[in-house]
């Protein structure tokens, strides 16, 4: 299979409008997309879906955040034979986290296909249930290469019925040292198959794999024309997906905005965020594709004249929205590509005014941020979550601004009423002022302790990317599917012990950094490493008990993020 990599299709963005229903997807898949709340395909989906539907091999150059999972999952699910209870799809992913996410995404897109089953195969969990799920006829296998090779060594015919192979985050798989495992897997696959490779970068090693194992692949990538972004101050905040609403609430406290448009990806998110903001007293509305045209116009008019200050919208619903009052664009969900980012933030800074653009970035979307910075030629400054002190200062500043003109205003004063109230209540002017302050600030704390009490604790999470997919819970109670394993608390795996490092989130460490360092310097395979838990001031990693001292010796001088790893065995008692 040595053919040249052929045509390159650059994915243009906002100009083209496609609808999911025009892409030839299976009706059950279309119904699931509607249920998940996607309104329109992302650029990478618009290009990839027809190619995969037409049976082409494909190389997709796209990173997390572009919608790449759905770009391959939707057409593949549309093409499998759900009546055959045998493995038909194999997706290879570099890490357990990604394998679980992809499995969950497949499950949500197959929600209307009751006979389709999905199994996630990864290290650190018992092999028995995984094998059983394959034997029971799961059509979709999502696996990390290391563990799949273990299965193949016991049952070489496991993949003999697979017709679709996806290599997801291929560059990451090679970085993690899975090259040899990939070769074993290719050799265990039928030649007659369709292969799709997704990778953020295309180094020579990936091109080599493509030349050897893909047939006349079509090449799809996100075009990244340089874009100009004028007069817009840009900032980003790193946040976990499930902490977004809280982050939005806190940032709005300290941002001085006139009107704001917040962008999210799904209809449900427009409703959830608008509801959370409304509960805090903001004048906000949701705009999504389900909202009737006349209602949409009412919302836009209200934003123009100040009856509303915030609109939370999907890209589709915000098309053509042009309101000069908008001072802030808030990218609550990452746009699919830099062009769409530039398009979104162009909603502010109108009429020669300065604008501000905020962006929430989940750990897995870091790379997308880098692409945006590269394409726009501008840095998007990192900001941190405002703490209670900053929020309190902002509240006091706003209250002061609000009261200043009233204090100066000579006309609208009522000294008779003041005299009447102080007499009636038998109190001083100061007591009365304090009572009135308490009344006007009702529902909002104005002391440090009070503001602290209001804020939910943002616990750093152990997995760096869990809740990122907008997917639904497993539809069938899980059976042997990945989603069930994902919900179970993970006890210490057999033969593993916990080790601790004093590096944590406050040192800018994510699970991926620790994993990379331990794999590279410790010479382990991915499956040798169990669960990684990242806390604020320390992290725990499950490592094999056998040979632990030798391994810790090898890692003695390892540095992560510029700091000494100093991994030690951790005893819980």
User: Which residues contact ligand AMP (rule: CB under 6 A)?
Assistant: 38, 41-42, 45, 64-70, 265-266, 468-470
For residue 195, the cross-strand partners are: 165
CA dist 316 → 229, 250, 414, 490 (Å)? 21, 27, 51, 40
Q: Which is nearer to ligand AMP, 149 or 368 (CB)?
A: 368
Q: Which is nearer to ligand AMP, 197 or 540 (CB)?
A: 197
The residue among 478, 551, 554, 542 whose CA lies nearest residue 511 is 542
CA dist 346 → 209, 227, 269, 318, 499 (Å)? 40, 11, 22, 12, 48
User: What is the enclosing helix (H) or strand (E) of 127?
Assistant: helix 127-135
Whether the CB-CB separation of 58 and 9 falls below 8 Å is answered with: no
The residue among 112, 101, 110 whose CA lies nearest residue 138 is 110
Smallest gap from Cβ 163 to ligand AMP, in A, equals 22
Q: Which is nearer to ligand AMP, 470 or 482 (CB)?
A: 470
Q: Which is nearer to ligand AMP, 68 or 328 (CB)?
A: 68
Burial class of residue 406 (count of CB atoms within 10 Å of its CB; 0-12, 13-18, 19+)? exposed
Percent helix, strand and coil across the chain, each rounded to 5? 45, 15, 40
Q: Which is nearer to ligand AMP, 273 or 391 (CB)?
A: 273
What is the DSSP secondary-structure string of 289-321?
TTS-HHHHHHHHHHHHHTS--EEEE-HHHHTT-
Smallest gap from Cβ 22 to ligand AMP, in A, equals 14
**What tokens were used for 460?**
């750093």
Rounded Cα distance, 419 and 212, in Å? 91
Residue found under tokens 């094998």: 131
Rounded Cα distance, 70 and 469, in Å? 10
Smallest gap from Cβ 364 to ligand AMP, in A, equals 7
The residue among 552, 555, 546 whose CA lies nearest residue 569 is 552
Smallest gap from Cβ 37 to ligand AMP, in A, equals 7
Smallest gap from Cβ 89 to ligand AMP, in A, equals 16
Q: Which is nearer to ligand AMP, 48 or 539 (CB)?
A: 48
Smallest gap from Cβ 296 to ligand AMP, in A, equals 19
Rounded Cα distance, 167 and 198, in Å? 6
Q: Which is nearer to ligand AMP, 69 or 505 (CB)?
A: 69
Q: 142-163 b/e with 16+ CB inside 10 Å = b?
A: bbbbbbbbbbbeeeeebbeebb
- Contacts with 518 (C-beta within 8 Å, 6 or more apart), sequence order: 524, 529, 541, 543, 555, 558, 567
Q: Which is nearer to ligand AMP, 64 or 130 (CB)?
A: 64
Smallest gap from Cβ 200 to ligand AMP, in A, equals 10
DSSP summary character for residue 259:
E
The residue among 272, 274, 243 whose CA lies nearest residue 260 is 274
Q: Which is nearer to ligand AMP, 266 or 378 (CB)?
A: 266
CA dist 295 → 87, 291, 302 (Å)? 48, 6, 11
Q: Which is nearer to ligand AMP, 244 or 356 (CB)?
A: 244
Q: Which is nearer to ligand AMP, 315 or 542 (CB)?
A: 315
Q: For residue 443, how far is the Cα from the chain centroid? A: 32
Beta-sheet pairing, 259-263 with 326-331:
parallel
Rounded Cα distance, 79 and 56, in Å? 12
Smallest gap from Cβ 487 to ligand AMP, in A, equals 19
The residue among 130, 81, 55, 141 whose CA lies nearest residue 106 is 141
Smallest gap from Cβ 38 to ligand AMP, in A, equals 3
């Amino acid at each position: 299979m040595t053919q040249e990599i052929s045509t390159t299709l650059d994915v243009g963005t906002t100009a083209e409008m496609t609808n999911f229903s025009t892409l030839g997807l299976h009706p059950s898949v279309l119904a699931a997309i509607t249920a998940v709340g996607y309104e329109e395909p992302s650029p990478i989906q618009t290009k990839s879906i027809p190619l995969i539907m037409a049976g082409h091999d494909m190389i997709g150059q796209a990173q997390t955040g572009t919608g790449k999972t759905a770009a391959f999952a939707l057409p593949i699910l549309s093409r499998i034979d759900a009546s055959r209870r045998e493995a038909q799809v194999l997706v290879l992913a570099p890490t357990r986290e990604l394998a679980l996410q992809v499995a969950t995404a497949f499950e949500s897109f197959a929600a209307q296909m009751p006979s389709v089953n999905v199994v996630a195969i990864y290290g650190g969990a018992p092999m028995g249930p995984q094998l059983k799920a394959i034997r029971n006829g799961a059509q979709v296998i999502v696996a990390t290469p290391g563990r799949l090779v273990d299965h193949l060594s016991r049952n070489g015919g496991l993949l003999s019925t697979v017709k679709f192979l996806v290599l997801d985050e291929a560059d990451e798989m090679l970085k993690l040292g899975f090259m040899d495992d990939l070769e074993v897997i290719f050799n265990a696959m039928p030649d007659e198959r369709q292969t799709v490779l997704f990778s953020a970068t295309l180094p020579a090693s990936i091109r080599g794999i493509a030349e050897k194992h893909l047939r006349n692949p079509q090449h799809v990538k996100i075009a990244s024309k340089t874009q100009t972004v004028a007069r817009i101050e840009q900032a980003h905040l790193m946040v976990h997906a499930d902490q977004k609403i809280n982050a939005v609430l806190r940032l709005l406290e300290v941002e001085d905005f006139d009107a704001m448009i917040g962008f999210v990806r799904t209809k449900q998110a427009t409703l959830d965020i608008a509801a959370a903001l409304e509960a805090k007293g903001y004048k906000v509305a949701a705009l999504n594709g389900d909202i009737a045209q006349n209602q949409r116009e009412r919302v836009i008019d209200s934003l123009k004249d100040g009856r509303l200050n915030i609109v939370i919208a999907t890209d589709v619903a915000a098309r053509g929205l042009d309101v000069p009052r908008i001072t802030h664009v808030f990218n609550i969900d990452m746009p699919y590509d830099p062009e769409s980012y530039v398009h979104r933030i162009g909603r502010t800074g109108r009429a020669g005014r300065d604008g501000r653009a905020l962006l929430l970035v989940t750990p897995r979307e870091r790379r997308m941020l880098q692409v945006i910075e590269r394409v726009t030629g501008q840095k998007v400054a990192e900001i941190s979550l405002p703490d209670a002190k900053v929020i309190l200062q902002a509240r006091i500043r706003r209250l002061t601004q609000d009261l200043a003109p009233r204090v100066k205003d000579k006309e609208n004063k009522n000294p008779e009423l003041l005299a009447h109230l102080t007499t009636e209540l038998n109190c001083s002017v100061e007591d009365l002022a304090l009572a009135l302050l308490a009344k006007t600030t009702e529902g909002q704390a104005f002391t440090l302790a009070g503001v602290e009490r209001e804020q939910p604790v943002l616990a750093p999470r152990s997995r760096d990317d869990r809740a990122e997919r907008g997917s639904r819970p497993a539809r069938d109670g899980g059976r042997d599917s990945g989603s069930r394993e994902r919900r179970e608390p993970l006890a210490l795996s057999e033969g593993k012990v916990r080790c601790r490092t004093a590096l944590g989130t406050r040192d800018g460490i994510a699970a991926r950094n620790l994993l990379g360092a331990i794999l590279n310097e410790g010479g382990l395979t991915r499956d040798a490493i169990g669960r990684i838990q990242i806390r604020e001031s320390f992290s725990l990693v499950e490592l094999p008990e056998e040979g632990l001292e030798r391994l810790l010796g090898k890692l003695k001088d390892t540095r992560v993020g510029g700091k000494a790893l100093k991994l030690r065995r951790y005893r819980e008692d």
